[in-house]
Amino acid sequence: MTELSQRIAEQMGTGPHVPQQHSPEPPRVHGPRVTVARTSGMVRDASPRSQQEHLDDLVRRYTARTPTSKRIAQRYRRVLADSRAVVGFRSGTKEMLYPLAGRRASGARLEDVDGNEYVDITMGFGVLLFGHEPDFVTEAVREHLSRGIQLGPRTIETGEAAELLAELTGLERVAFANSGTEANSAAIRLARAATGRDKIVTFLGAYHGHADNVLGRTSGSGPHQVTVPVSRGVPQAAVSDLLVLDYGSDTALETIARHADDIAAVVVEPVQSRHPSLQPVEFVRKLRELTRRHGIVLLFDEMLTGFRPAPRGAQELYGVTPDLATYGKLLGGGFPIGAIAGRADIMDGVDGGFWSYGDDSYPPADTTFFGGTYIQHPVSMVAARAVLTHLKEHSPHLQERLNARTAELATTLNGFFEAEEYPLRMSHFGSQFRFEHRADMELLYHHLMVRGVHVWEWRNFFLSTAHSDGDLEFVADAVRDSLRELRSAGFFPGGRPVTPAP
Ligand code: PLP
């Protein structure tokens, strides 16, 4: 690596380490700052000067296109503590690091405050399965608001949403919360209450929200392996009952068997958003067997996989019914929500279970703590009922069609990556996808934004039923054009001749 390319690498990779918490990813506090030019062999035939010129030009184009978004980010930075606004900080690209400020959104399209239009593949971080502003949600919410937000009394839609959720998932009872984090915290507490045990198992690479008791990672190896907090502020005591194991490994199953008598729940993100191609069917089936045998609660965190690939989410992929499952995201149609569903005997920890009027029945089960001012928020409940009704009417055709369209996009792009020897693959599960790189590709995402494809900081992407064939072609063109332009500037040299971008 020449001195100049080394300098570019350093510029792009040696910014101050910024803690990255409160993300929909496993927080990678003090994570590595890999750089475009740093990956070995990447700049083999390239002129480092052309890379630097390219970066300068990209910064110019990016910031000229979105000056108001940038101004807003800077204007409020002193007062607004915003973890998302600093995800991926690097000195070399910091001029392009600001959240897009939106003006309006409809279907698969977004317009920013500078009047630029985007095809959105962020889709509300996985929330907007039906696109921005789906009529059936907007109408239901509008109708409710026309009668005042009824916070306090129960809305009938709450019971209807619970019934629909149970029907679609095949699970027995349902409780609502305000977020995925809240749903997982409550589910873990219910599992601990039901089993009388304390230990929780999660898997490396999964994300379960930002409650202290799931913010652990392993440190050390073999018999010296321990769980430590992922960041400052999380006390050691909060993760002392957490075991973080390798997803899909026999060792994980052995460890669970060894600690079985102390384990309350095994929490699984069935298809991890960071590794959509990791779908260890046999492992999950064995896990079901093992947990059943030892009376351990198997908890599926279906925050992203719920309803999206199939009505029964990842449970359908694995052919496995968990004891509890948690939901959120798309369930609320854009409004804050979380839900816990599962076996009645465990869910009875919320309210003591079933009883009737006019006889001598009473809530039979012991309860644990569950509550919150905004649980069953009327607007979220109305929206959830609308979402679930729509899903009931259109599943599984809706998911099958969207999955097939995502697979088509993957086939098109992966064919291109292979043919032109770019070191990445588009992997997907249902309509959720991600580019898995063998090299650092941060600049690709900036290029996509410049070309009008809305990507977000954690780089998990989603298609919606509102995306047209034209939208998908637009995304594919933007990916191809971005990579070709990067190659013409000396990045990712491949086996085929480089065609300079226009
Ligand atoms: N679990 C998974 C698998 C998630 O992807 C997320 C959020 O992205 C959560 C839990 C946390 O949900 P929330 O951000 O609504 O608290």
Give the position, in ligand 1's atom list, of the atom nearest the Cα of 184.
Answer: 10
Tokens of 2: 């020449």
DSSP code per residue over 204-220: TT----S-GGG-EEEES
Q: Is 313 a pocket residue for ligand 1 (Cβ < 6 Å)?
A: no
Q: Is 207 a pocket residue for ligand 1 (Cβ < 6 Å)?
A: yes
User: Which ranges in the chain are annotated with CATH 3.40.640.10?
Assistant: 135-395
Q: Is 181 a pocket residue for ligand 1 (Cβ < 6 Å)?
A: yes
Residue 275 Cα to ligand 1 midpoint, Å, equals 15
pLDDT value of position 6: 42
Q: Is 208 a pocket residue for ligand 1 (Cβ < 6 Å)?
A: yes
339 within 8 A of 299, measured Cβ to Cβ: no
pLDDT value of position 39: 34
Give the position, in ligand 1's atom list, of the atom nearest the Cα of 305.
Answer: 3
Residue 376 Cα to ligand 1 midpoint, Å, equals 18
Residue 2 Cα to ligand 1 midpoint, Å, equals 43
Q: Is 308 a pocket residue for ligand 1 (Cβ < 6 Å)?
A: no
Please, which residues have CB within 8 angstroms of residue 421's CB and are 6 or more apart in sequence? 494, 495, 496
pLDDT value of position 22: 39
Please, which residues have CB within 8 angstroms of residue 55's CB and are 6 or more apart in sequence? 8, 12, 92, 93, 443
Strands 109-112 and 117-120: antiparallel
Q: Is 332 a pocket residue for ligand 1 (Cβ < 6 Å)?
A: no
pLDDT value of position 27: 38
The dotted CATH code for 31-132+398-488 is: 3.90.1150.10
Residue 273 Cα to ligand 1 midpoint, Å, equals 10
Q: Is 346 a pocket residue for ligand 1 (Cβ < 6 Å)?
A: no
Low-confidence residues in the chain, pLDDT < 50: 1-46, 497-498, 500-502
Q: Is 209 a pocket residue for ligand 1 (Cβ < 6 Å)?
A: yes
Tokens of 55: 């970066």
Residue 484: how many other CB atoms lie within 10 Å: 19
pTM: 0.91
Q: Please report the sign of the dihedral spanned by the C-alpha atoms of residue 117, residue 121, residue 122, residue 127.
A: positive
Q: Whose CA is nearest to atom 12 of ligand 1?
A: 180
Q: Is 328 a pocket residue for ligand 1 (Cβ < 6 Å)?
A: yes
Please, which residues have CB within 8 angstroms of residue 192's CB and are 6 or more apart in sequence? 198, 200, 264, 265, 368
User: To test ligand 1's pocket by mutation, which of 83, 127, 179, 181 has the most ligand atoms within 8 angstroms of CB?
Assistant: 181
User: Which ranges in the chain are annotated with CATH 3.90.1150.10?
Assistant: 31-132+398-488
Tokens of 350: 């919320």
Residue 180 Cα to ligand 1 midpoint, Å, equals 5
Q: Is 267 a pocket residue for ligand 1 (Cβ < 6 Å)?
A: no
Q: Is 274 a pocket residue for ligand 1 (Cβ < 6 Å)?
A: no
Domain at 135-395: CATH architecture: 3-Layer(aba) Sandwich (3.40)
pLDDT value of position 222: 81
pLDDT value of position 440: 86
Q: Whose CA is nearest to atom 3 of ligand 1?
A: 303
Give the position, in ligand 1's atom list, of the atom nearest the Cα of 179.
Answer: 15
Q: Is 304 a pocket residue for ligand 1 (Cβ < 6 Å)?
A: yes
As a three-state string, the secondary structure of 140-182 is HHHHHHCCCCCCCCCCHHHHHHHHHHHHHHCCCEEEEECCHHH
pLDDT value of position 48: 80
Give the position, in ligand 1's atom list, of the atom nearest the Cα of 182.
Answer: 16
